[in-house]
Amino acid sequence: MTNISHDLSDSSASLRPQVSAGEITVSNVSKSYGAGLFTKEVVKDCSFTIERNKLTVMIGPSGCGKSTLIRLLAGFEKPTTGSIKINGKPITGPDRDRLVVFQESALFPWMTTYDNIMYGPRARGEDTQQARDLAKFLLEKVGLTAFRNKYPPQLSGGMQRRAELARAMINDPEVMILDEPFRGLDCMSKELMWEYYAGLYEESRRTNFFVTTDIDEAIFLADRLLIMTNIPGQVRATIEVDLPRPRRLAFVFDSKRANEVKTEALSLLHEEAMKSFAGGSKAATDFVEAYSRRADKTGPGS
């Protein structure tokens, strides 16, 4: 049974997990699909660490292999070469120490919000009073108590994402892995979700790995930012996002440091996007070379 500390009668109820937060190391991982002439290398010699008790955000161009990496971390697929370990032990398949929230909604449309949240414990045969209390606590935490008997199509996009967070958190994983969980939400709902999710993280401090293509989302959330290359994906740079917590949108986007990080990250991402553009034709390659010469003379962002 899950060990998140909670006490419904106590206003100091906390999301701090009692199981230890995990750490994942990815070492020289490559992943290819297909065979022979049709081989496609999606991830190439990729290494990084998802540090314990930190929120690591990976940002990279669309199609650079982020979701592929997530499937490898989740244990749904195996790397072609290289190794992935959690707390020093090789990942051999899916396990409840890691939990993935996917970029597409995974709520079951035929189940109420409450039943969706209780899915994990019930699937393990743990429909206990403790699990039911925890589901109630999490419903409150994600602001969906009044919607506990509604079905997913009766919830707004933001509510559905909050229900998914609760559905993941009830399993108290050592590492939460989120693949663009707010993709497709409108700007306002997205920004609300950033503050909301940052608050949940700040309260629990479990290890989180969050993948996105949105630079503002990445900087607002991250303790550490991993910048990906274009496909085949590899971590090109790591930036420590040393902004104070708790984070508030207005404060972060006024901050000089946040803007420095954004400029640095965007210049790297821009270079990667240009490489993918250059892959297309001779004219595009010439354009990128000319652009790079100009950038060398004037400096990034000029």
Ligand X SMILES: Nc1ncnc2c1ncn2[C@@H]1O[C@H](COP(=O)(O)OP(=O)(O)OP(=O)(O)O)[C@@H](O)[C@H]1O
List interacting residues with ligand X (CB under 6 A). Answer: 33, 40, 42, 60, 62-68, 213, 231
> Tell me, what amino acid is at 184?
G
Among residues 67 and 255, whose Cβ is nearest to Mg ion? 67
Question: Which pair of tokens denotes residue 8?
Answer: 């419904």
Question: Which pair of tokens denotes residue 173?
Answer: 């994983």
- CA-based torsion, 45, 51, 52, 55: positive or negative: negative
Among residues 161 and 247, whose Cβ is nearest to ligand X? 161
| C-beta neighbour count of 32 within 10 angstroms | 15
Among residues 40 and 257, whose Cβ is nearest to ligand X? 40
Min dist CB 35 to ligand X, Å, is 11
Min dist CB 60 to ligand X, Å, is 6
Residue 42 touches which member of Mg ion, ligand X, none, C-beta under 5-8 Å by kind: ligand X
Residue 33 touches which member of Mg ion, ligand X, none, C-beta under 5-8 Å by kind: ligand X
- Tokens 């009766």 belong to 154
Residue 65 touches which member of Mg ion, ligand X, none, C-beta under 5-8 Å by kind: ligand X
Residue 63 touches which member of ligand X, Mg ion, none, C-beta under 5-8 Å by kind: ligand X
> Tell me, what amino acid is at 124?
R
Min dist CB 33 to ligand X, Å, is 3
Among residues 112 and 276, whose Cβ is nearest to ligand X? 276
Residue 199 touches which member of Mg ion, ligand X, none, C-beta under 5-8 Å by kind: none
Min dist CB 45 to ligand X, Å, is 16
Residue 230 touches which member of ligand X, Mg ion, none, C-beta under 5-8 Å by kind: none
27 binds Mg ion (CB under 5 A): no
Q: Which residue is nearest to Mg ion (CB)?
A: 67
Min dist CB 61 to ligand X, Å, is 7
Min dist CB 208 to Mg ion, Å, is 17
Half-sphere exposure in the Cβ direction for 248 (13 Å, CA): 3
Q: What part of residues 54-73 is at the interface with Mg ion (CB under 5 A)? A: 66-67
In sequence order, what DSSP letters do the residues of 9-29 get, joined into one string? T-TT-----SSPPP-EEEEEE
Task: Enumerate binding residues for Mg ion (CB under 5 A).
Answer: 66-67
